[in-house]
Structure 1
Amino acid sequence: MISGITPCANCGGAALKALVLAGGTGSRLRPLTNSIPKQLLPIANKPVLQHCLEQLRTLGVTDVGVVVGRFGGQIRAAFGDGAALGLRVSYLTQDRPAGLADCVRLAGDFLGDDDFVMYLGDNVLVGDLRPALRRFREARSDAHLLVTAVSDPRAYGVADLAPDGTVRAVVEKAPDPPGDLAIIGVYCFTAAVHGAVRRIRPSARGELEITDAIQRLIDDGRPVTAQRFHGAWRDVGSAAALLDCNRLLLSDLRGTAVTGRPGTSAGTPDRAPDGGPGAGAAVGPGTVLHGPVRVDPRARIIRSRLVGPVVVDAGSIIVDSLVGPDVAVGAGCTVIGAVVRDAVLVPGAVVDGGAPVLGAVAGPGPRITPGRPATTTAPQPAATP
């Protein structure tokens, strides 16, 4: 075992690391991702990457390598050394997108001979991953994949499974895939994968494909297994997918919570007093909260109606507006005289009257509505290197 690596509590005491891939460009989320990495876009007011890191912590992992690209500085600033999440985070820079297997190559020194979980940093999984890790350990396969049935497997890497769960073949975005079981964004590997990565060549799109490395393991007679994931899985690489995931996570919200005032049960209107907000109060006069709503104590809600599920983060102000359902208002947002439903407001977003925000991701400058051209509502901030 490498010195300084904490044994994994869910892995029979063996060392386990994690490799999180967070270098993607987020092209389908432009213009938002011209200045914000997609891994820092919020879902239910928590960055996508934080959802990934918290899932890894449930597996008993403490040592995480995060592969970053152009926006590595912003990601480092957001998570630092990982101590706030109970992790030890190291950062590895990939100069240009060159494939998932290239990330494994890049992380070779960090991973050493340890088993590891590879997690795609733009995927959100809701459900328990510990059964998959246990099966990986028990089967002692060199690769263990999580799969789920999809309606159009041509858009994914697909695994061809034998009845006993062993993988006979994997293909990447094939026009005639061998089944409908897509490989989702969490993989378990032993150190054997490093040798497989060294032996593959770039694909037609010029990248080192992780499916090619897995197929190399299979061709070499190494054990590769898979199991179905029965929880929810979302790849949040598009505005539509990000909004869908936001709805999914907000659906777990229960009750109404406002600082300094008792919460009310879901479905019960909670009307703020008309005598002014008072010192430190988040909810001011003329405001009605209905259903599951969470308001940070440092936010201000005045003469507005919030219909849950809704979450409002610190420093935001909502005045004379109808917000919800299915809305996450990030930190430092301004909503005045507006209607906002089924939306993600990225920290710093401004919605000042105008057309309703319906089914959209709104940032400090651009606003993205699936199926429509992006619009700009305020000057766009400069990118942070």
Structure 2
Amino acid sequence: MKALVLAGGLGTRLRPVTHTMPKQLIPLANRPVLEHVLDDLRPLGVREIGVVVGDWGPDIAARVGDGSRFGARITYIPQERPLGLAHCVSIARPFLGDDDFVMYLGDNLIQDGVTATAEQFAARRSDAHLAVARVADPRSFGVAELDAHAEVVRLVEKPRHPRSDLALIGVYFFSAAIHRAVAAITPSARGELEITDAVQWLLDRGARVTAGEYTGYWRDTGRIEDLLDCNRRLLDALAADRGGPADRVLLAPGATTARSTLTGPVLIGAGSVVENCRIGPGTSIGEGCVVRDSTLENCIVMDGARVVGRHGLRDALLGPATALGTGPHDARLGAPAGPLEVTA
């Protein structure tokens, strides 16, 4: 089995941060979202991964590398502009060949991984197997309607009047049959080749499409509030996995704190300095940061950021090399201003 990871989206909902970096490289617990996705593929035994990239392709390749860190070989597949998930399958055909493959959206976090979904696909041997989850409002998702045997009878993209609460969550397992469907469909009203249309094409021609319900934590990280929630979840899990102290504060090698109160889960990256601060739950501070005379809670602070003399900062995403300071502290920052996004 191969894997196709989609990392070409524009991240318009995360601007201004995504003016200067791809959304797939925004860190959760100090690791890019995309790396969490690639980690999920390792237990599947996948050794060949195609990563579809857009304008940020060189930045993604520089960070992720050749795949050896993830036990695989990565092939980068350029996409000139976002033209739909099925278009990604089309341009990846030379890479995919006739192998089974998993397609995974590179900006999704699925905390329990996709091993169970892969096992379902292997056991049922359908032409397509979809990961679905129950949501309160399915109108923003592709929606699957299932029969009593968990076989898909209909797919609808963002229905105005959903007949099911089972949303597609961005993980799809396919046989080579999907290529005929992708080649046959036409762009939707929004000008994209929809993967839901391709799967529906298979259904209309008698193909067998199954689904498995995922009941764990997952998020599309396209909004800041979702990134912050994911970050908090991963920090909790990281502290538990490492058997952290009762206050659940994790310091990477070379990180230092002084005259500060840290209430976990908190993660401070290598080489960062925290002095005279109150750092509250859900905060991750990247590598090489300086945070002084400030209070932060539920924040993502990316590598190289400087925060001095800022109090009451919460629910914030600070881009790399961001400089925040007031009055006489400004001269101590030593870094150019970078992107900042805050949500109340």
- Normalised by the length of structure 2, the TM-score is 0.92
- Asked if structure 2 preserves the Cα contact closer than 8 Å seen for 1:32 and 1:366, the reply is no
Q: In the TM superposition, what is the alpha-carbon distance from 1:356 to its structure 2 partner?
A: 2.2
- 1:134 maps onto 2:119 in alignment: yes
- 1:66 maps onto 2:51 in alignment: yes
Q: In the TM superposition, what is the alpha-carbon distance from 1:319 to its structure 2 partner?
A: 1.3
The separation in 2 between residues aligned to 1:365 and 1:205, in whole angstroms, is 36
- 1:29 maps onto 2:11 in alignment: no
| Equivalent of 1:265 in 245, 257, 261 | 245
Q: In the TM superposition, what is the alpha-carbon distance from 1:300 to its structure 2 partner?
A: 2.1
- Asked if structure 2 preserves the Cα contact closer than 8 Å seen for 1:159 and 1:167, the reply is yes
2:207 corresponds in structure 1 to 222
Question: Aligned AA for 2:138?
Answer: P
- Asked if structure 1 preserves the Cα contact closer than 8 Å seen for 2:84 and 2:195, the reply is yes
Q: RMSD across aligned C-alpha pairs, in angstroms?
A: 1.8
The separation in 2 between residues aligned to 1:159 and 1:255, in whole angstroms, is 35
Count of residue pairs the alignment pairs up? 328
- 1:379 maps onto 2:310 in alignment: no
- Cα deviation code 1:59-103 (max 9, x no counterpart): 111210000011111100001101122111110000101000000
Instruction: State the SS of the aligned residue for 1:253.
Output: helix
The separation in 1 between residues aligned to 2:67 and 2:43, in whole angstroms, is 14
- Asked if structure 2 preserves the Cα contact closer than 8 Å seen for 1:127 and 1:230, the reply is no
Instruction: State the SS of the aligned residue for 2:63.
Output: helix
- Asked if structure 2 preserves the Cα contact closer than 8 Å seen for 1:255 and 1:293, the reply is no
| Equivalent of 1:81 in 53, 66, 72 | 66
Q: Answer with 32-41 or 301-310: which moved more.
A: 301-310
1:326 corresponds in structure 2 to 282
Where do residues 195-214 of structure 1 align in structure 2 (5 Å cutoff)?
Answer: 195-214=180-199
The separation in 1 between residues aligned to 2:83 and 2:176, in whole angstroms, is 21
The separation in 2 between residues aligned to 1:237 and 1:201, in whole angstroms, is 26
Question: Aligned AA for 2:161?
Answer: D
Where do residues 31-180 of structure 1 align in structure 2 (5 Å cutoff)?
Answer: 31-180=16-165
Instruction: State the SS of the aligned residue for 1:195.
Output: helix
Change (3 A) 1:305 1:71: same
* Structure with greater helix percent: 2
Instruction: State the SS of the aligned residue for 2:182.
Output: helix
Task: Mark the runs of 5 or more structure 2 residues left unpaired by the alignment.
Answer: 324-334, 340-344
- Asked if structure 2 preserves the Cα contact closer than 8 Å seen for 1:350 and 1:378, the reply is no
Q: Answer with 77-86 or 346-355: which moved more.
A: 346-355
Q: In the TM superposition, what is the alpha-carbon distance from 1:228 to its structure 2 partner?
A: 0.3
- Structure label with greater radius of gyration: 1
Change (3 A) 1:212 1:379: same
The separation in 2 between residues aligned to 1:168 and 1:244, in whole angstroms, is 33
Q: In the TM superposition, what is the alpha-carbon distance from 1:126 to its structure 2 partner?
A: 1.1
Question: Aligned AA for 1:22?
Answer: A
1:347 corresponds in structure 2 to 303
Instruction: State the SS of the aligned residue for 1:252.
Output: helix
The separation in 1 between residues aligned to 2:70 and 2:212, in whole angstroms, is 28
Q: In the TM superposition, what is the alpha-carbon distance from 1:352 to its structure 2 partner?
A: 1.3
Question: Aligned AA for 2:128?
Answer: A
1:12 corresponds in structure 2 to none
- 1:187 maps onto 2:167 in alignment: no
The separation in 2 between residues aligned to 1:89 and 1:364, in whole angstroms, is 26
2:3 corresponds in structure 1 to 18
- Cα deviation code 1:154-204 (max 9, x no counterpart): 010000000101100000001011211001111000010011000000001
Instruction: State the SS of the aligned residue for 1:90.
Output: strand
Change (3 A) 1:139 1:256: closer
- Asked if structure 2 preserves the Cα contact closer than 8 Å seen for 1:149 and 1:180, the reply is yes
Question: Aligned AA for 1:349?
Answer: A
| Equivalent of 2:230 in 221, 237, 245 | 245
- Asked if structure 2 preserves the Cα contact closer than 8 Å seen for 1:342 and 1:358, the reply is yes
- Asked if structure 2 preserves the Cα contact closer than 8 Å seen for 1:156 and 1:172, the reply is yes
The separation in 1 between residues aligned to 2:27 and 2:41, in whole angstroms, is 18
Task: Mark the runs of 5 or more structure 1 residues left unpaired by the alignment.
Answer: 1-15, 258-262, 267-290, 368-376
| Equivalent of 1:313 in 232, 244, 269 | 269
Q: In the TM superposition, what is the alpha-carbon distance from 1:379 to its structure 2 partner?
A: 2.1
